[in-house]
Amino acid sequence: MAAICRIEWAKEDSGRYVDLVDMKIFNAEVSGREVKHRIQRPRGDFFFATCDLQVQGNEATLTYQQDSRWWPGATKFIFSDNTRREIKTVLWADEGTEEFQATGIYFEIIAGVDQQGQDEVSRLKRLAKIALRPQQPVFSAKLREAYGGKCAITGCSIPQALEAAHIHVKKDVDINAEGNGILLRADIHALFDAGLITLTEDGSRVEVKRELLDDPTYRFLDGKDVHQPSDGPPSRENILHHRRRFCF
């Protein structure tokens, strides 16, 4: 199985995401080939990033276009030699600049796992998390009832796409109290947990971060009304905690 380059970004606006780049993409020299690699969110789930790959000699570059889920720019890999099996350093340059920097980038080479094995690991982690969070199904059921089975922001009513989101998050503790939850579509939940969106102080509308405004996919969220649940709006104190946590 191919090795994986695991890259952690220390930038505050990185969302604490981790890039997982399969080393086999560097096996041959290429120019401008589209590739995908996994990105792991802080809560452990994954999505795929699309980028352009260039490999020449002992260097390789992954170039990312603007997207709501990642920062536009380029990651450069410097290898020990032209076999490209050992990485000396990983650099980053924001879009529009050719100045690559290594500050705040941590990387390591780890053993790869096949996708089926990774899926099984993820499944077991989800089951373990459920076992450790026995009140979560109750919390979710209450929110689904309070919001009429619809996402508070998009109005989506597909049960499998909806998730119970905590507003005030405390490490290793689920605060399942009334007023600390909101029912969201899964992708909106991910944006909320990453701090790319929040609620206004009164909980009536959505506010978004600049990087989300730059992408048309989620631009509609800015200023969008938030449906209020039958048992009353989320706690103002919890909303303020979320806003302060993500510097709104």
| Higher per-residue confidence, 212 vs 88 | 88
| pTM for the model | 0.51
**Pick the residue with more confidence: 10 or 189?**
189
Domain boundary among 90, 117, 144: 117
What's the confidence (pLDDT) of residue 30? 95
Residue 127 covered by a domain: no
What total of structural domains would you count in the chain? 2
Which residue did the predictor score with more confidence, 78 or 171?
A: 78
Q: 214 near 220, Cβ under 8 Å?
A: no
Residue 56: pLDDT over 50: yes
> Which residues does residue 78 pair with via DSSP β-bridges, in sequence order?
59, 89
Same domain, 112 and 151: no
The confidence band for 131, taking pLDDT boundaries of 50, 70 and 90, is very low
Domain that holds residue 81: 4-117
pLDDT (tens digit per residue) in 218-235: 889 999 999 999 888 899
What single string gives the DSSP state of each residue in 156-215? ---GGGEEEEESS-BTTB----TTSEEEEEHHHHHHHHTTSEEE-TTSSBEEE-HHHHTS
Q: Kindly state whether residues 82 and 153 are assigned to the same domain.
A: no
- Residue 187: phi and psi, rounded to 5, are -70, -35
Contact 7, 90 (CB under 8 A): yes
